């Protein structure tokens, strides 16, 4: 019986060539698996037929847009996930859902191995393979570029020699990965970190230097998830798509960073994530209204750890699952409306309201109606500062009292 290998298939040159390349190198039949996570482009049926025309014995096609938005993007939103405080894990959160469908295809067709198109220098090889083996430890993984010497030049030559139904060109200078949560661009002249991105780098966003009239939007959340925009009900996918259009038109969500890859390399990455960045900003502001102070502080620590785990390919790990439980619990009261002004590259919160919020006008106001008993403050301060006061008294007893910034003692010059 011929061995079967499932290949993560995009419909582009490299993965189209990989079908025949893998078969020639291993003798295995190749099953193409294409997963739509909102990357746009060609119809899935067109991609399916191309895979078959390029030599795949079967083609597994999955429209995972709603699944991706609801189960992956929304969890990232609830975590306010920003790797290195900047990158909303655009590619990182798509890999586990793609891996899930790769495993499903492998089980359906009896494959023993899963293949992907990643290089040996990036994060995605780790994300795919760790996700695949976490879901199905019995499966093997290969990468034609990394393991079978499939370079770009060889791919073009192979496609031309075998008359594959795919455009072959060396003109595109960038490596691009995109989905509904955002778009990642790297390589080419961007590898010189002094070079400024040119206009042709961007697709999801317009130039923020020349914005249209400001756009005001009201986003309604229920338990941390957007459920309406300007009063119109939306699904998670619709919320992201609509905010991509509206925030993108204002140039919001452009990110240019030197990023620490998991494999130890620093890499220059340019991202566009208009919907993700606007929604995260709105969600963070609603949490400021609804989360208790210590809970909010600890959630920031949890969110940072969650983000690192997901970036590092540990979506299906026990720790990430436990952190999900904490994050979901914090969202119990994260419901309400956030009004934002979208303009010139910025998403600025201008209003908040929540029936489950902890903001109390009568406690906060300094005007008539103030219900805060200020007489309680003196005793609170005495107790709050008691430990520090006692510590300072001990230091002074042993000649180690506090000093000024220039090193002089607070008691200097007091002796006569």
Reply yes or no on whether 124 is catalytic: yes
Using N-to-C axis directions, what is the helix angle for 152-161 and 13-26, rounded to 10°? 80
Q: Could you tell me if 122 and 195 lie in one domain?
A: no
Q: How far apart are CA 74 and CA 80, in angstroms?
A: 10
Reply yes or no on whether 175 is catalytic: yes
pLDDT at 187: 84
Q: Could you tell me if 37 and 19 lie in one domain?
A: yes
* CATH code of the domain in which 216 resides: 3.90.1260.10
pLDDT at 222: 98
Q: How far apart are CA 112 and CA 90, in angstroms?
A: 29
Position 405 in a domain: no
Instruction: Tell me the pLDDT of the chain averaged across its residues.
Output: 93
Q: Could you tell me if 393 and 290 lie in one domain?
A: no
Position 411 in a domain: no
Q: Could you tell me if 217 and 302 lie in one domain?
A: yes
Was 388 annotated as part of a binding site?
A: no
pLDDT at 408: 66
Q: Which of 142, 173, 204 is the last residue of a domain?
A: 173
Was 14 annotated as part of a binding site?
A: yes
Q: How far apart are CA 325 and CA 175, in angstroms?
A: 35
Position 330 in a domain: yes
Segment 61-69 shows an average pLDDT of 97
pLDDT at 161: 93
Reply yes or no on whether 268 is catalytic: no
Q: Could you tell me if 377 and 393 lie in one domain?
A: yes
Position 403 in a domain: no
Reply yes or no on whether 95 is catalytic: yes
Q: Could you tell me if 347 and 375 lie in one domain?
A: no
- The active-site residue, picked from 48, 50, 95, 183, is 95
Q: Are 44 and 50 within 8 A, CB to CB? A: no
324-328 long-range contacts, CB within 8 A, separation 24+:
324/75, 326/299, 326/302, 327/75, 327/78, 327/79, 327/299, 327/302, 327/303, 328/78
Q: Could you tell me if 127 and 214 lie in one domain?
A: no
Was 124 annotated as part of a binding site?
A: yes
Residues 337-372 have pLDDT tens digits of 999 999 999 999 999 999 999 998 888 888 887 888
Was 158 annotated as part of a binding site?
A: no
State percent of the chain over pLDDT 70: 96
Q: Could you tell me if 181 and 325 lie in one domain?
A: yes
Q: Which of 146, 173, 200 is the last residue of a domain?
A: 173
Segment 315-336 shows an average pLDDT of 98
pLDDT at 151: 87
Q: Is the pLDDT of residue 171 over 80?
A: no
Q: Are 98 and 124 within 8 A, CB to CB? A: no
Position 18 in a domain: yes
Was 259 annotated as part of a binding site?
A: yes
Q: Which of 362, 380, 411 is the last residue of a domain?
A: 362
Segment 94-106 shows an average pLDDT of 98
pLDDT band (50, 70, 90) for residue 399: confident
Position 408 in a domain: no
Q: Could you tell me if 162 and 221 lie in one domain?
A: no
The tally of domains found in the chain comes to 3
Residues 109-134 have pLDDT tens digits of 999 999 999 989 889 999 999 999 99
Q: Could you tell me if 292 and 303 lie in one domain?
A: yes
Domain of residue 385, residue span: 363-397
- 10-32: string of b/e by CB count within 10 Å (b at 16+)? bbbbbbbbbbbbbbeebebbbbb
- The active-site residue, picked from 53, 66, 146, 175, is 175
- The active-site residue, picked from 29, 124, 206, 312, is 124
pLDDT at 411: 62
* CATH code of the domain in which 391 resides: 1.20.5.470
Q: Is the dihedral of CA 104, 109, 114, 115 positive or negative?
A: negative
Position 277 in a domain: yes
Q: How far apart are CA 127 and CA 310, in angstroms?
A: 8
Q: Could you tell me if 9 and 92 lie in one domain?
A: yes
Position 127 in a domain: yes
Residue 389 Cα distances to 385, 397, 407, 412, angstroms: 6, 13, 20, 20
Q: Could you tell me if 122 and 252 lie in one domain?
A: no
Q: How far apart are CA 99 and CA 15, in angstroms?
A: 16
pLDDT at 170: 66
pLDDT at 123: 94
Residues 227-272 have pLDDT tens digits of 999 999 999 999 999 999 999 999 999 999 999 999 899 999 999 9
- The active-site residue, picked from 14, 36, 177, 312, is 14
pLDDT at 415: 47
């Amino acid at each position: 019986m011929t061995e079967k290998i499932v290949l993560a298939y995009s419909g582009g040159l490299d993965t189209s060539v990989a079908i025949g390349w893998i078969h020639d190198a291993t003798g295995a039949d190749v099953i193409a698996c294409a997963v739509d996570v909102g990357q746009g482009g060609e119809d899935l049926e067109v991609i399916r037929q191309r895979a078959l025309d390029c030599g795949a014995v079967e083609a597994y096609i999955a429209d995972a847009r709603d699944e991706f938005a609801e189960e992956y993007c929304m969890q990232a939103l609830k975590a306010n996930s920003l790797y290195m405080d900047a990158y909303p894990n655009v590619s990182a959160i798509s890999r586990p859902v793609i891996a899930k469908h790769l495993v499903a295809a492998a089980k359906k067709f009896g494959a023993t191995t899963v293949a992907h198109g990643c290089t040996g220098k990036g994060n995605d090889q780790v994300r795919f393979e760790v996700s695949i083996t976490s879901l199905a430890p019995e499966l093997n993984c290969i990468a034609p570029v990394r393991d079978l010497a499939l370079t770009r030049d060889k791919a073009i030559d192979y496609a031309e020699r075998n008359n594959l139904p795919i455009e072959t060109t060396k003109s595109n200078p960038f490596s691009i990965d995109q989905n509904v949560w955002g778009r990642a661009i790297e390589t080419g002249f961007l590898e010189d970190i002094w070079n400024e991105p040119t206009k042709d780098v961007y697709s999801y966003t317009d130039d923020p230097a020349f914005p249209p009239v400001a756009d005001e939007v009201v986003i309604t959340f229920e338990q941390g998830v957007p459920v309406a925009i300007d009063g119109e009900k939306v699904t998670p996918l619709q919320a992201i798509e609509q905010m991509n259009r509206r925030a993108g038109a204002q140039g919001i969500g452009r990110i240019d960073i030197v990023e620490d890859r998991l494999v130890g390399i620093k890499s220059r990455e340019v991202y566009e994530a208009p919907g993700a960045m606007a929604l995260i900003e709105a969600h963070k502001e609603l949490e400021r209204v609804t989360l208790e102070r210590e809970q909010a502080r600890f959630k920031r620590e949890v969110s940072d750890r969650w983000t690192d785990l997901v970036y590092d390919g540990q979506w299906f790990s026990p720790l990430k699952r436990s952190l999900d439980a904490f994050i979901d619990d914090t969202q119990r009261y994260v419901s309400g409306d956030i009004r934002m002004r979208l303009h010139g590259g910025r998403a600025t919160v201008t209003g908040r309201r929540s029936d489950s919020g902890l903001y109390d006008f009568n406690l906060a106001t300094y005007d008539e109606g103030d219900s805060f008993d200020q007489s309680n403050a003196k005793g609170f301060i005495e107790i709050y500062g008691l430990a520090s006061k006692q510590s300072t008294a001990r230091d002074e007893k042993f000649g180690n009292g506090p000093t000024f910034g220039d090193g002089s003692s607070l008691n200097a010059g007091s002796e006569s």
